[in-house]
Structure 1
Amino acid sequence: MIEGIHADGAPVPVGRYPHARRVGQLLFLSGIGPRTPGNNVIPGNVYDPAGKLVDYDIVTQCHSVFANVRAVLEASHCRWDWLVDVTVYLTDMHRDFQAFNAVWAEYFPDINKAPCRTTLGISALPTPIAIELKCVAAFPEPR
């Protein structure tokens, strides 16, 4: 059974795709960024009077992206601790990697229970965000 999932508590996707799809015991989340649900404001972004992005707070964006992932997991009847693999996209690896790692450690304090992770430095994302996560979770096997 394949099921698409849309989470009311997460920001609307920027393209024509679901927040997640469940295939058997696996849940695949589409790329999720830090936009605020309901208004698409990007927490931590700083704009000049002309509306040009001049700075951002990666820690604020990290907390927001984790909240959005949690919202999609909850809408999917999935738990945070069922995450098994996370791909992280950072638009400035040199500036943000250390701060991201510190926030990651807050959400996954036990390294042996943390999901696997790959972190990539990329040149841009479709909206002016500094981070996006691509996640896979696994539901427990039915007993």
Structure 2
Amino acid sequence: MSISSSPDSSALNSSRAPEPVGLYPHARRVGNLLFLSGVGPRQRGEKHVPGVELDEDGNILRYDFERQCHAVFQNVRYIVEEAGARWEDLVDVTVFLTNMQDDFSTYNRLYAEYFAGAQPCRTTVEINCLPTPIAIELKCIAWVGER
């Protein structure tokens, strides 16, 4: 994890999570709170999204939503752990889905498995699209401090 500091906050970039698609850090720590930028299911060093099949124009033909969920949870874990927190330290999760009707039940089932021991606050919203051909993105806040 690389850290660039200012007097009251630190920008953090994971060495395991996918590279950001814009000019922003993976997370920023302010005091004992860790604010994650939107995290998707891509894998570090790859442009291809796990479980996504595109046509020659870059339009989504098919996607494996469950595979994307597992990948996005893993990416969040990478960032949180490299910043010195634990999965159980997540306190708030905002979920962006591009197809609530088809994907929410799968997301809800997997979320219950991943968060069985820790139950952060959660908001789930449907959006028209995301900046890359993904069906899910998470925006999270975690506690980083004394346990």
| Shorter-chain TM band | over 0.9
Whether 1:27 aligns to 2:34 is yes
1:125 aligned partner: 130
For residues 76-128 of structure 1, the C-alpha deviation after alignment (integer angstroms, 9 at most, x for no partner) is: 11110000000000000001000000110110124xx3111000000000000
TM-score, normalised to structure 2, is 0.90
Give the ranges of 4+ consecutive aligned residues of structure 1 lying more than 3 Å apart after TM superposition: 48-52
Q: Compute the displacement of 1:58 (Å).
A: 0.7
Gaps of 5+ in 1: none
Q: Compute the displacement of 1:49 (Å).
A: 5.9
2:63 aligned partner: 56
1:1-143 alignment runs, 5 A limit: 1-48=8-55, 52-110=59-117, 113-141=118-146
RMSD (CA atoms): 1.4
Contact 2:18 2:44 in 1 (8 A): yes
| Aligned residues between the structures | 140
Gaps of 5+ in 2: 1-7
Q: Compute the displacement of 1:52 (Å).
A: 3.5
For residues 33-71 of structure 1, the C-alpha deviation after alignment (integer angstroms, 9 at most, x for no partner) is: 000111132011123466542010110000000000011
Match of 2:68, as an amino acid? Q
Partners of 1:31 and 1:50 lie apart in 2 by 25
